[in-house]
Amino acid sequence: MKILILIGCIVGTSFAEHPSYVDDPQVLSIAFVGCNRVGWSGKHHPSTANVAQLMATFEDIATMDPPPEYFFFCGDLVRNESTDEGQTLENQLEPWFKLFASSAMYSSATTLVPITGNHETLQSYQASDGTWLEKPNPATYPIWVLWLEEHGLAAFAGNGPPIGGEDLLTTDGSKLTYSFDSEDTGNGKIHFIVIDTDALSSAVPTDQSYLQQEGVVPVPGWIAINWLEQDIAAATNDPSIQYIFALGHKPMESFNSTDPTGRESIIDCDEFPFSTRLRTAFQASTKFKGYLTSHVHLHQTDNLADSSDTATWQIIAGNGGSQLDDRWEPMNAIGANTPPFYGYSVVRIHESGKVFSDSYGRSVPDPYDADVLSPAQRLTSLRNTLFIGVPCAGDVNEDGVVSVNDLLYIIRFFGDTSGAGDLNDDGVTNIDDLLLVVDSFESECE
């Protein structure tokens, strides 16, 4: 009878505001996104930014109430990838900053924290088989750091790994990979780790890998893993730290796999299993909450934990304005496919200690890099919410509360064998999964 009553109420239901907004005050939030640069064809702004999307995001964040403490721009601000001595990067970064300085966010309460991506520091080249590949351009790293310093964007940088050392860095990495703490939120400070996911190193691969065959030196996808492991451990053992977040351009995993070449994700070949080591360090920390990243042009959330009763969240927010990945098929809170969207994400930390991530989006114009957005294209709305914690029974859409949306999700995939909605992992979405939702109905994840 309970099932029939609940299903009968679905039609015409007015979805209530998510409980996390109502009775649990927010104590800190951050915004993040990456990948706004345009492609190689067409005539574009000197910054090579998708200007309409960039300025819309700046305006949205500037008017948020309460405002995010920080806005992390997770790489690929500009297109670059030239083989010169950094002139192209410099010539694109300067007009990019002018766009920012003209925006409402420039004078807002939110601090911009730019993070370098492959398009800032790598150069593209053509391999013998005609494939276009990337490798670090040593000339770009000091230009990026100087740009940060000249425009007051390096306020939190400086404690990162030095040149040399066990991470084999060939340039000073102290303002490329670094960490800092927020003010105390009432339950402790939030420790943020910024990661250069294409760090410049002297490493030369010797194993029989794709890297060796192509002779890609310096190697892409390198990170200062030894420094990172030590920083994560120190923050975990610091009683003043409540949570740890890491942010970088390249993900640990891209489309459920690591990349030994360091092109699609942090390098993870046999000789340099750095993505695996980083994930292991996160999993060993009792305070780690999430790795916030971009590089892939979509929005995707993945729990990279080894079991369903733990959580190692990775959130890819690469939908900042670059041409979107045609493999992306977004789903809403009830499992229905929706059109891809541009936007940004926000992480909210609440007084109770609960943490959520909201993905905000706006419609994609045609062409994707249109100079002007129509009122409908400019409208930004909440697309989905993720509970950044251990998944709980019945919460099939992972938003932190078992609701009508979860029932609708199960019903949509009823009889499906792909795994969607299969809460008990028996190979099919059926009445047993529906009962799990009903048994936990209106409960909230802890």
Q: Show me where the domains of the chain are located.
A: 24-401
Cβ contacts of residue 62 below 8 Å, gap of 6+? 103, 104, 105, 108, 110
Among the ranges given (275-279, 342-346, 356-360, 441-445), the one the predictor scored with the smallest mean pLDDT: 441-445
* Structural tokens at position 420: 């969607």
Give 266-288 pLDDT, tens digit per residue.
999 888 999 999 999 999 999 99
pLDDT recorded at residue 195: 98
- Order across the sheet with 189-195: list the strands: 178-181, 189-195, 241-248, 288-293, 313-317, 299-303
Average pLDDT, integer, range 286-315: 93
Q: How many C-beta neighbours within 10 Å does residue 43 have?
A: 5
- Least confident window among 25-39, 232-246, 262-276, 340-354: 262-276
Q: How many CB atoms lie within 10 A of CB 414?
A: 14
65-121 pLDDT, tens digit per residue, is 999 999 999 999 999 999 999 999 999 999 999 999 999 999 999 999 999 999 999
Single-letter amino acid, residue 52: A
Determine whether domain 24-401 maps to CATH 3.40.50.300. Answer: no
pLDDT at 157: 98
Rounded Cα–Cα distance for residues 315 and 72 (Å) = 13
Residue type, 234: A
What pLDDT does residue 9 have? 36
Of the ranges 206-210, 276-280, 340-344, which one carries the lowest mean pLDDT score? Answer: 206-210
Question: What's the token pair of residue 62?
Answer: 């500037």
Question: Is the model's pLDDT at 158 over the cut of 50?
Answer: yes
Show Cβ contacts of residue 20 under 8 Å, excluding neighbours closer than 6 positions: 348, 350, 354, 356, 385, 387, 400, 401
DSSP secondary-structure letter at 267?
B
Q: What is the DSSP letter of 221?
A: T
Asked if pLDDT for residue 256 goes beyond 50, the answer is yes
Half-sphere exposure for 173 (CA within 13 Å, toward CB): 29
User: Residue-wise over 380-410: b if at least 16 C-beta within 10 A, else e?
Assistant: beebbbbbbbebbebbbbbbbbbbbbbbbbb
* 19-33, 71-85, 141-155, range with the lowest pLDDT: 19-33
- Does the pLDDT at position 2 exceed 80? no
